[in-house]
């Protein structure tokens, strides 16, 4: 039997964290995306067990301040892109500066230095990943998707989509549809 599935990575990650923290009887409070406050002293062996368990899911505890800041930048961008009501009425650069309390120039330098890409490229990649998911859901038109992702036009979305994936959104949808039909015939 073949199963198709869909998931929200943020929710999945949160559930994994909750399950392991509860299993180890660690008191915690979930703060923001990517942040949990541990409300008690955790013995080193228990903390190491938590780290090992989370590493199996490619969830890593970040111990250095720059790494934490980079993760906060990524989390803020993902939050904006996946929650339409979070799109700032100002520019994303101003939003990030205000949310993280750093000048945008500093944020871009740190981000580029450690990820080898720019914040702008990261935003584009995240928007295209979101567009792919929305296309796969088949509930929205390309016009609706471009609006949802705050693009000025369908043409602009299509141009960025092709730069990132090598395919137009229409070609991507046709390929996915063909694969679905083939898998339905096989199953």
All structural domains of the chain with their residue ranges? 10-58, 65-116, 122-186
- Determine the Cα–Cα distance for residues 187 and 4; give it in Å rounded to an integer: 12
> What is 122-186's CATH number, 2.40.33.10, 3.40.430.10, 3.50.50.60, 1.10.10.60?
1.10.10.60
Query: In a structure prediction context, what are the per-residue pLDDT tens digits for the chain, which is 187 residues long?
Result: 667 777 777 778 888 888 988 998 988 888 766 678 888 888 888 888 988 988 898 888 877 888 889 988 998 898 888 876 666 667 888 989 998 999 999 999 999 998 899 999 999 999 999 999 999 887 888 999 998 888 889 999 999 999 999 999 989 988 888 888 887 777 6
- Determine the Cα–Cα distance for residues 81 and 10; give it in Å rounded to an integer: 13
Does the CA dihedral 177-181-182-184 come out positive or negative? positive
- Determine the Cα–Cα distance for residues 87 and 28; give it in Å rounded to an integer: 29
């Amino acid at each position: 039997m073949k199963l198709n599935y869909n998931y929200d990575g943020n929710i999945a990650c949160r559930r994994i964290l909750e399950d392991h923290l509860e299993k180890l009887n660690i008191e915690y409070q979930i703060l923001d995306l990517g942040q949990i406050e541990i409300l008690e002293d955790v013995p080193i062996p228990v903390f190491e067990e938590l780290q090992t368990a989370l590493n199996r899911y490619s969830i890593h505890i970040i111990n250095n301040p720059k790494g934490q800041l980079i993760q906060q930048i990524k989390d803020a961008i993902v939050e904006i892109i996946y929650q339409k009501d979070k799109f700032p009425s100002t520019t994303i650069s101003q939003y990030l500066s205000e949310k993280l309390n750093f000048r945008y120039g500093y944020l871009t330098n740190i981000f580029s230095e450690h990820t080898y890409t720019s914040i702008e490229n990261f935003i584009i990649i995240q928007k295209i990943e979101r567009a792919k998911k929305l296309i796969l859901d088949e509930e929205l038109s390309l016009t609706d998707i471009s609006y949802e992702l705050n693009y000025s036009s369908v043409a602009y979305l299509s141009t960025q989509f092709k730069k990132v994936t090598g395919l137009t959104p229409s070609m991507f949808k046709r390929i996915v549809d063909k694969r679905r039909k083939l898998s339905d015939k096989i199953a």
